[in-house]
């Protein structure tokens, strides 16, 4: 069964860094775009970053440009999100997803369970 599992979340101070990982199993996702989304309590799920499957083009939400970096390793069937200069407004549950290269959540077919990121002093 295809599965995505996020890890690496936790509590960090403002200005700190975290690296989230997403491990895929059950099938290869080398021909899927991979994305990261996040959702804070009471808010809609929002796009964070995406990377294509072929030439590894990337796109980011304006709120994270210059701070976050998405990458993937198809040989290991993983995708990562490096998060630097974290702000309290980055606090959310972060979800890994696989699907079509897009900033829209409904273009993604597979989702992980999410990992909590809390940025607080």
pLDDT digits (tens, 9 = 90+) for 90-105: 999 999 999 999 999 9
Look at residue 46 in the predicted model and tell me its pLDDT.
98
Question: Which residues, 6+ apart, have CB-to-CB distance to 99 below 8 Å?
Answer: 32, 33, 35, 107, 108, 109, 110
Task: With cut-offs at 50, 70 and 90, classify the pLDDT of residue 59.
Answer: very high
Contact 110, 4 (CB under 8 A): yes
Higher-pLDDT residue of 29, 36: 36
Is the predicted pLDDT of residue 27 greater than 90, yes or no? no
Is the predicted pLDDT of residue 55 greater than 90, yes or no? no
Is the predicted pLDDT of residue 54 greater than 90, yes or no? no
Look at residue 79 in the predicted model and tell me its pLDDT.
95
**Stretch 80-86: mean pLDDT, rounded?**
98
Contact 38, 45 (CB under 8 A): yes
Best CA proximity match to 19, nearest among 95, 96, 82, 89: 82
Starting at the edge strand found earlier in the chain, the sheet holding 18-25 runs: 3-7, 18-25, 78-83, 68-73
Q: In whole angstroms, what is the distance from residue 53 CA to residue 58 CA?
A: 10
């Amino acid at each position: 069964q295809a599965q995505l599992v996020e890890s690496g979340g936790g509590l960090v101070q403002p200005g700190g860094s975290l690296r989230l990982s997403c491990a895929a199993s059950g099938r290869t996702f080398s021909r899927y775009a991979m994305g990261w989304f996040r959702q804070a309590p009471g808010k809609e799920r929002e796009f964070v970053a995406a990377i294509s499957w072929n030439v590894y083009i990337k796109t980011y939400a304006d709120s994270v440009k210059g701070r976050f970096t998405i990458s993937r390793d198809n040989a290991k069937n993983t995708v990562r999100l490096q998060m630097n200069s974290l702000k309290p407004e980055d606090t959310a549950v972060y979800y890994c997803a696989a699907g079509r290269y897009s900033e829209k959540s409904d273009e993604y077919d597979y989702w992980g369970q999410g990992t909590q990121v809390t940025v607080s002093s």
